[in-house]
Amino acid sequence: MQNEEIILQMKAITKTFPGVKALDNVNFNLHQGEVHALLGENGAGKSTLMKVLNGIYQKNSGSIYLEGNQVEFKSPKEAQEAGLAIIHQELELIPYLTVAENIFLGREPKKGFLVDFKRLNEKTEEIMNRLGVNIDPQSKINELNIGNQQMVEIAKALSQDANILVMDEPTSSLTPKEIEILFDLIERLTAEGISIIYISPNGGNFSNL
Ligand SMILES: Nc1ncnc2c1ncn2[C@@H]1O[C@H](COP(=O)(O)OP(=O)(O)O)[C@@H](O)[C@H]1O
Ligand SMILES: [Mg+2]
């Protein structure tokens, strides 16, 4: 995939926390439609690099270019609006809400002042079909296993039109079967032109790819 266009470039990124230099002059390029694995031991700075990318943390120095244009995201919301989504190591779903309510939280289709639940569930169904996964939009998150919860996070990112998706250690609590489903899904997403940054604590998981 090296011939594909570079859609994201991080140059000489440095980030310090009190007493810790988490990132020291880090360079990172992402090509369109590729899965770029970011490997490194615990504490290497992988999550920090991604949090600098999407505006959770502000970098001390360095620059970030999205499709050639310099960007300075001040918040994850700004990054999301530019098509960048992160699925964090700790999933961020609300357990007692439904799949559909989680995916469209704060962006629910309305009928007058009320949530249009029929439309909400239909839109969720459409995304699940696109992902090729079979999850009932009306299930509560706390009724799903971790693998399906992660699919919901991915569905949420897609519903926001993400074209760069960061997965931070996605397989850490998945079963081998769930990992297989995730890898199939990653293939499907990259075939659509979505670029993926895949963070792994070590090379071990890649024996499955
Ligand atoms: N919010 C924070 N405040 C202080 N130190 C942090 C913070 N986030 C990360 N660090 C430190 O930065 C370093 C890199 O952490 P992290 O990016 O989480 O590594 P990784 O994701 O590769 O395991 C570690 O030394 C960690 O303790
Ligand atoms: Mg991490």
Has residue 38 got a pLDDT over 90? yes
- 206 domain residue, yes or no: no
Q: What pLDDT is stored for residue 115 in this prediction?
A: 96
- 192 domain residue, yes or no: yes
Give pLDDT tens digits for 155-193: 999 899 999 999 999 888 888 888 888 899 999 999 999
Give pLDDT tens digits for 59-94: 999 999 999 999 999 999 999 999 999 998 888 899
- 98 domain residue, yes or no: yes
Nearest CA to ligand 1 atom 16: 45
Q: Which residues are 87's β-sheet partners?
A: 167
State the average pLDDT over residues 3-27.
Answer: 94
Regarding pTM above 0.85, the answer is: yes
**Ligand 1 centroid to 47 CA: how many Å?**
7
H/E stretch holding 41 reads none
Closest CA to 14 of 39, 48, 42: 48
Comparing 43 with 204, the larger pLDDT belongs to 43
Record the tokens describing residue 162, joined without a space: 């993400």
73: containing domain: 6-200
| Domains contained in the chain, number | 1
The best mutation among 14, 15, 20, 39 to test binding of ligand 1, ranked by most ligand atoms within 8 Å of the C-beta, falls on: 20
Has residue 1 got a pLDDT over 80? no
- 205 domain residue, yes or no: no
What's the CATH number where 50 sits? 3.40.50.300
List pocket residues of ligand 1, CB cut-off 6 Å. Answer: 17, 20, 22, 40, 42-48
Record the tokens describing residue 205, joined without a space: 């998981």
